[in-house]
Amino acid sequence: MRFTAVVCLSLAVAAPHAFADPCATNFSKKGSPFTGTVYRSSVALADLSVASAIEQLRAIALADRLAVLSADPEGGSLLIEQPETARNKPIPMILGASVENGVTHLTMEVKLSAGAFAKADDVRREICTMLAKVQPGAAGDAAARRLAADTPDVAPERLDAFIFSQQIARQAGENSSTINVRYKGRRYTLTGRADFIMEDGSGYNVGFSIPEMSERLIASGPLGAKFKVGVSCLMAASQTAYTLSLRENDTIALTGTFARYDQFRHVVWLDGCVQAR
């Protein structure tokens, strides 16, 4: 979804036709920008299984570079999210499918946090655009397979390690249990300075220099990070020579895959890290 308001969603789905009237009729809005807003709509389709509906919606989301946090095709639930950007926090979208009297009902909710603004007409258009992409029968199953096969490889996101650390810390401060679900498997190229180089089992671990909270020139505001999150890279076996050549405080740029966040130690580990070119 894309809006030109303070909050910007990015489903970016190109509808094959205008959204159906039932979706517009069923659209609702609850809440306010001061407490958080939930937008919802639904449609009904015959000759569509619950599993097929969720698989199609999952493929549509991945094709549009949204994060899939949880998918249960048989149970009829899907949680997707637009990742955090400089303009907005992560934006969750909950999709469901259920059968009633032989007809499959699809629902979609978009949840905006307190302080986020979006035009209701824009949200309605984008929700209905996405739901309109779901097709019944064999055509829907074929569409899901085609979309999954056509999903492009996503290049690693390039970020300063300190900014990445702050992003994780802010989100963990709100709900630390979402971090591993949200980030696991994503690839990043992080830049910064080496804080330490150490042996880790049979490999090596390179940590980025992240200032302590007391050392930061600008204090975090009420919505900012409340604690420091360390960032470490477990180096790929092919990087031994490069790793051993590093010294503390060297400028580094490393590409790796998000492995896990330890909510007790407040540390993120990236795996399979290599020197970025």
The backbone torsions φ and ψ at residue 11, rounded to the nearest 5 degrees and listed phi first, read -70, -40
pTM score? 0.74
Tell which wins on pLDDT, 108 or 145: 108
H-type alpha helices, the chain: 21-26, 50-63, 120-132, 137-150, 161-175, 179-183, 240-245
| Alpha carbon distance 96, 80 (integer Å) | 11
* Superfamily (CATH) of domain 157-275: Nucleic acid-binding proteins (2.40.50.140)
Residue 71 has what pLDDT? Answer: 92
Mean per-residue pLDDT, 256-274: 97
- What would you measure as the largest C-alpha separation in the chain, in angstroms? 67
CATH entry 3.30.530.50 includes domain 21-150 = yes
Mean per-residue pLDDT, 190-201: 96
Mean per-residue pLDDT, 182-192: 95
pLDDT tens by residue, 79-98: 999 888 777 788 899 999 99
**Binning pLDDT at 50, 70 and 90, where does residue 15 land?**
very low
The average confidence (pLDDT) of the chain is: 87
Stretch among 4-8, 117-121, 202-206, 262-266 having the lowest mean pLDDT: 4-8
User: Is residue 134 within 8 Å of residue 54, measured between CB atoms?
Assistant: no
Residue 110 has what pLDDT? Answer: 95
pLDDT tens by residue, 206-225: 999 999 877 666 655 555 66
Residue 17: pLDDT above 50? no
CATH 3.30.530.50 spans which residues of the chain? 21-150
Whether the CA torsion 233, 168, 164, 230 is positive or negative: it is negative
Residue 116 has what pLDDT? Answer: 82
CATH 2.40.50.140 spans which residues of the chain? 157-275
Residue 268: pLDDT above 90? yes
Mean per-residue pLDDT, 237-248: 97
Residue 6: pLDDT above 70? no
Stretch among 102-116, 148-162, 187-201, 258-272 having the lowest mean pLDDT: 148-162
Residue 5: pLDDT above 50? no
Mean per-residue pLDDT, 4-21: 44
pLDDT tens by residue, 151-169: 667 789 999 999 999 999 9
